[in-house]
Amino acid sequence: MVERPAFRNAMARLAAGVNIITTDGPAGRSGFTATAVCSVTDDPPTVLVCMNKGSRAYPVFTGNGVLCVNVLREGHADLSAAFAAGNRDLDACFAGAAWRTLSTGAAALEDAAVALDCKVVSVTEVGTHGIFMCEVLAVSTAADPGALIWLDRNYLRVGPGGAKVA
């Protein structure tokens, strides 16, 4: 079996888009930074989001049954770091950007590259994480291109003119 540190170091070499996942509803408001997000199918439009079961936000997300995947753009590195911090103040995190809601009530980042507003269809627990299967109910896209990428434990920004360290 591969040792945990070796696996984590290997996964650090897997470039991934950076996302802030938000929720709001009867269980409360919450958010976290995630790179473990991907498309599953386009019929029905479905994405998956992975979240650590030990996170204090986990019961909030499972309790609300809705979430918004906010795909970050260049310039969002500080916001990403704020939502990723273990000792984060959620009110301060949300105050650090402009938000709106689409159909579920979860916060959609005004200037996200893409915001995917979703209802959670199922959650499967594997090891330390829950895999949220999410049907996309609404989509909002930004006019300007650009993406924030996580590679080798560093942010890279991709926009007009190519990639640069964020």
Q: What does the alpha-carbon distance between residue 18 and residue 50 come to, in Å, rounded to a whole number? A: 13
Q: Which residues of 120-136 are buried (b: 16+ CB within 10 A; e: fewer)?
A: beebeeeeebbebbbbb
83-130 pLDDT per residue, tens: 998 778 999 999 999 999 999 999 999 999 999 999 999 999 999 999
Task: Categorize the per-residue pLDDT at 51 as very low, low, confident or very high, splitting at 50, 70 and 90.
Answer: very high
Domains of the chain: 4-149 (2.30.110.10)
Q: What does the alpha-carbon distance between residue 115 and residue 131 come to, in Å, rounded to a whole number? A: 19
Q: What does the alpha-carbon distance between residue 149 and residue 2 come to, in Å, rounded to a whole number? A: 26
Q: Specify the pLDDT at position 146.
A: 84
In terms of average pLDDT, the best of 11-15, 60-64, 87-91 is: 60-64
Average pLDDT, whole number, for the chain? 93
Is 138 in contact with 102 (CB distance < 8 Å)?
yes
